Amino acid sequence: MTSVRTSMRWAALAAALLLPPVGAHAQHAGHGQPVPSSPTANQQEEDATAAQSPNAGMDHSQMDHGQHGRPQVDHSQMDHSQHDRPQVDHSQMDHSRMGVLDSPREPIPAVTDADRLAAFPTLKDYHKHGTSLNSFWLMDQLEGANTDEGREIAWEGIGWVGSDINRLWLRTKGHALDENLQRARVEAMYGRAIHPWWDAVVGVRRHFGDFGGGGTPRTWAAFGVQGLAPYKFEVSATGYVAEGGKTAAIVEAEYDMLFTNRLIASWGVEANWFGQSDPAEVIGSGLSTVEGGVRLRYEITRQFAPYIGFEREWSFGETSDLRRLSGHSRTDNRWVVGLRLWF
């Protein structure tokens, strides 16, 4: 028993010599709390037991006890702004479409004939034209000119009375030289609209005058079309048939060129064709004459417009020869001054 006690004393002495100073060990064990400077008996026994443990020689003062059970992490190098969120480049996002509903997933079906029929059904009630009577009268040319043969007065006019579909047309044209009627025609025809811009006409023409000194009045059956061609050309084409198998045709075209709303240049051309020669009328078969000219008018009002112009007439074939034999010029140039009236 004495030997055991002696061994324990020697072990305690050895532990006291090997352990660090009491202040350092007390700071580690009590976390900065003061401990008694002199060991008690129990403390000596604990020291003796600790001296026999495998870790008796370790220096705990150099150990970082805050990392027990966890890997060492350097928080100063971590980007905490990215925690729990994926990185998104907002500069590439179209914020203008935020809040707008996505397009439908199902494609729009193609338009069918049934859809078109439902959108544009066949109308049962068509537009009806007015049935009231209206009228329009235009003296397109009322002019005078000085020619080599004398002072000439010429006119050309047109008018109608009726509805939008059915009308009575009146047309006239002629000229007089030194107060003697040279040639004139008056036409009365029934016209019916066959197109929004065209009328078909049929009626009679009375031709009279004393051109060449042997002319006699003659009545012709007339038929043709008149209207507005593309690019706003006013066109008239009329055929004539008279007793004795005589035939004739006249084609006219006119175009208005606007420089201003009031200053207007009117270009016109007329071609005359006859199926048979008529020396008494100084007319040959085939293309007889072509008249072309321009008239510049100023519309003081829409109903009243003075004008000046130039017109030239050419004769062809037998008509040119007959004119030369009767003492008339083959061609005729005229400067004209006149008025254009309508009401």
Domain ranges of the chain: 134-342
As a whole number, mean pLDDT of residues 293-303 equals 96
Contact partners, residue 297, CB within 8 Å, separation at least 6: 263, 264, 265, 266, 305, 306, 307, 340
- How confident is the model over 182-197, as a mean pLDDT? 93
Across the range 88-113, mean pLDDT stands at 67
- Looking at the predicted structure, is the pLDDT value of residue 88 above 80? no
Looking at residue 26, its pLDDT comes to: 42
Q: Write down the pLDDT at residue 156.
A: 96
Cα dihedral 276, 279, 281, 282, rounded to 10, equals: 100
Lowest-pLDDT range of 48-62, 102-116, 225-239: 48-62
pLDDT tier for residue 339 given thresholds of 50, 70 and 90: very high
Give, as one character, the DSSP assignment of residue 108. Answer: P
Token pair belonging to 190: 């029934």
- Segment 158-176 shows an average pLDDT of 94
Q: Which residue has the higher pLDDT, 327 or 214?
A: 327
More confident residue, 276 or 127: 276
Kindly report the length of the chain.
Answer: 343
Compare 259 and 44 and report the one with higher pLDDT. 259
Lowest mean pLDDT segment, chosen from 10-14, 61-65, 298-302, 326-330? 61-65
For the question of whether the overall pTM of this predicted structure is more than 0.75, the answer is: no
CATH H-level superfamily of 134-342:
monomeric porin ompg (2.40.160.40)
pLDDT at position 338, please? 97
218 pLDDT tier (thresholds 50, 70, 90)? confident
What is the predicted pLDDT for the residue at 124? 67
84 or 300, higher pLDDT? 300
Assign 213 a pLDDT band (cuts: 50, 70, 90): very low
pLDDT on residue 279: 85
pLDDT at 98: 56
pLDDT at residue 138 tops 60:
yes
Q: Which of 39-48, 117-126, 148-157, 180-189 has the lowest mean pLDDT?
A: 39-48
Q: Who has greater pLDDT, 21 or 249?
A: 249
Question: With 90 as the cut, is the pLDDT of residue 147 above it?
Answer: no
Q: Which pLDDT value is given to residue 101?
A: 53
% the chain with pLDDT above 90:
46
**What value does the mean pLDDT of the chain take?**
79
DSSP calls for 187-212: EEEEEEEEETTEEEEEEEEEEEE-GG
Other CB atoms within 10 Å distance of the CB of residue 83: 7
pLDDT at 73 over 50: yes
Mean pLDDT for 255-262 is 96
* pLDDT in the model for residue 34: 46
Asked if 174 and 181 touch (Cβ cutoff 8 Å), the reply is yes
Rounded CA-CA distance 282/280 in Å is 6
Q: String of b and e for 138-165 (b: at least 16 CB within 10 Å)?
A: ebbbebebeeeeeebbbbbbbbbebeee
38 has a pLDDT exceeding 50: no
